[in-house]
Structure 1
Amino acid sequence: MSKVVFADANSDYKKARYVICGVPFDGTSSFRRGSRYAPLEIRKNSYNFETYSHLFDIDLTDIDIHDAGDLEVAQNIDDTLDMISVHADNFVNDGKIPVMLGGEHSLTLPFIKACKKKYPDIGCVILDAHLDLREEYEGERNSHACISRRILEDLTKKYVSIGIRSGTREEYEYARENKIKIFSSEDISLTGIESMIHELHGYINGPVYLSVDMDAIDPAFAPALGTPEPYGLTPRDVRTIISCLAPYIVGFDLVEITPSYDSGGTALLGAKLVRDFIAANARATL
């Protein structure tokens, strides 16, 4: 368990509405490893900010937040997913909103699965630079490069990807054949974030799981990433998406920061986005 708790996570578990947990695993990462160190760095950087959010007119000290520390992981991805799924199920069954700090993107799966059991009609919104629609990658079906394929095949067809700008020819063909809704970063640049949000609500209604792969953001803003991809979203784009979906979100994660590749700015931005999610969701559900 991490010895550093997320700032303002001062509630005990029983009382908490939001439960933060870290999952320090990057075993299938394929370009830059090191996202296993991100949960700690995100927590450290969370202390930079004021407790009051003027944007949402809410103070995080008035919100019941608990930090459950880092979950135990295994050497391989399959055993790790099995181990953390127990915690994910417990959090959701206990009426909490899980806030998972990765780690690599494959770790999203047990948390969506836990939310799906409680909310059968759940939708999933993934912010990502990459399609992640491979059947397998380097012999691994649960690779970080396959997370969206697993979600679509195993959990829900009510699915939207935002920020996409990278994938194999086969992945793009799969997306077209299966009519997967994608808002590329080019789409958003051309039509504007407000237009995208308006259209998004036509695809996603009811409970939503939101997963933020930080490489959805342009590496000019967030360089310390596992697989950085230029021409991405801005941090304000991501904050706007979080804000607009906030009333419907029942689970949230933020993944794929590799802290050693910058001087701390990417983890700082990640911490801020987590705090913005909690503030936005708490304000929307008051």
Structure 2
Amino acid sequence: MHRTVFADANSDYKDARYVICGVPFDRTSCFRRGSRFAPQEIRNNSYNFETYNHLFYIDLKDVDIHDAGDLEVAQGIDDTLKMLSVHADKYVRDGKIPVMLGGEHSLTLPFIRACKTKYPDIACVVLDAHLDMREEYEGERNSHACVSRHIIQDVTGKYVSIGIRSGAREEYEYIKENKIRMFSAEDVLSTGIESVISELRGYINGPVYLSIDMDAIDPAYAPAIGTPEPYGLTPRDVRSVIACLAPHIVGFDLVEIAPAYDSGNTALLGAKLVRDFIAANAKATL
């Protein structure tokens, strides 16, 4: 069934604490396109779940959530990012926590920039299989393959990536030269997500923007992805990071699901992670 709003997003904009928006854009995707269809599929699958979250003792029917629908996009990425900035700036200025459903990963940039205006000391945590540290890709500076580099250079040096297992040699050299904090999927496997979280707590204790590229998760759990990489994180790893950071999160996105490549399970998992974020953040800020 086609659902026009995310489940339990029953608040009007004025009263909402969380504003969900979809961004149906995937023009710079380079392997599998189709993430433009993800916002609606995530909404459709969000109706599978009970309103009560037993892990965080929160009933989402008691949380003020508004779904602003899908935002308008342009033909190209540069114009799209400018258009998104208008909405992202308004959400943050109005005291909302933006929850963006992509679309491709390049779309994170205007949302974290908006949060930066209100929280100058903001940190960014990205869960991703890929480094995304290219300066440009296939002639496009704002490609999804460049988003993390632009976050670091243009928004905040307080940056951590988790789940990495792919990148060009130059990208690995860049993170080494610039001492960028990165936990590979192998790090998580060998030391455990609890160890990674312990390190996170050591140097992130202020406002955080959390971006979840669904390819951080192993394709055994999330196969419908734009650029899948084997040997990834588990959904529980991701949920643990969400729970750890929840008290500090001021902006959130979930991107890069390409729904055509499975029977709905990846969008279902994405919807659950969004609901877990809202529940965990709501619990932490009561």
Q: Shorter-normalised TM-score: what interval?
A: over 0.9
In structure 2, distance between residues paired with 1:50 and 1:64: 16
How far does residue 3 in structure 1 lie from its aligned partner after superposition? 6.1
Equivalent runs, 1:229-240 vs 2, <5 Å:
229-240=229-240
Q: Does 1:153 align with 2:153?
A: yes
- Aligned positions of 1:149-228 closer than 5 A: 149-228=149-228
Please state whether the residue corresponding to 2:98 is helix, strand or coil.
strand
Q: In structure 1, what residue type is equivalent to 2:258?
A: T
Deviations 1:67-90 (A, max 9, x none): 000000000000000001000000
Which AA in structure 2 matches 1:126? V
In the alignment, is the contact (CA less than 8 A) between 2:3 and 2:43 conserved in 1? no
Aligned to 1:46: 46
Q: CA deviation at 1:34?
A: 0.1
Q: CA deviation at 1:146?
A: 0.0
Residues 28-74 of structure 1, C-alpha deviation per residue, up to 9 Å, x if partnerless?
00000000000000000000000000000110000000000000000
2:101 aligned partner, one-letter code: L
Counterparts of 1:184 and 1:203, CA distance in 2: 18
CA distance in 1, matches of 2:169, 2:67: 41
Q: Aligned pair count?
A: 285
Aligned AA for 2:45?
N
Residue by residue, what CA displacement relative to the aligned partner does 1:121-164 show, whole Å, maximum 9, x if unpaired? 00000000000000000000000000001001100000000000
- The 5 Å alignment of 1:63-102 reads 63-102=63-102
Contact 1:254 1:274 in 2 (8 A): yes
- CA shift for structure 1 position 203: 2.6
Distance in 1 (alpha carbons) for counterparts of 2:13 and 2:173: 45
Q: Match of 1:132, SS?
A: coil
Please list the CA deviations of residues 241-286 of structure 1 after superposition, one character each: whole Å capped at 9, or x if unmatched: 0000000000000000000000000000000000000000000000
Q: What is the rounded CA distance, in whole Å, between the counterparts of 2:138 and 2:204 in structure 1?
A: 32
1:251 matches 2:251: yes
Counting aligned pairs with the same residue, the percent is 81
The yes-or-no answer on 1:112 pairing with 2:112 is yes
- TM-score (norm: length of structure 2): 0.99
- Displacement of 1:202 in angstroms is 1.8
Letter in 2 for 1:118: K
The amino acid that maps onto 2:13 is Y
Aligned-partner Cα distance in 1 for 2:202–2:174: 22
Distance in 2, matches of 1:171 and 1:259, equals 29
Aligned pair 1:61/2:61, yes or no? yes
Q: Which amino acid aligns with 1:123?
A: A
8 Å Cα contact 1:3-1:69 kept in structure 2: no
Instruction: Tell me the SS of whatever aligns to 1:201.
Output: helix
List 4+ stretches of structure 1 deviating above 3 A.
none
Q: Helix, strand or coil for the counterpart of 2:279?
A: helix
Amino acid at match of 2:148: S
Structure 1: gaps (5+ residues) = none
* 1:160–1:203 contact (8 Å) kept in structure 2: no
Q: Which runs of 5+ in 2 are unaligned?
A: none
Once the two structures are TM-superposed, the CA of residue 205 in structure 1 deviates from its matched residue by 1.8
Give the alignment's Cα RMSD to 1 decimal: 0.7
The equivalent of 1:270 in structure 2 is 270
Q: Do the aligned partners of 1:28 and 1:144 also contact (CA within 8 Å) in 2?
A: yes
Which has the larger displacement, 105-114 or 200-209? 200-209
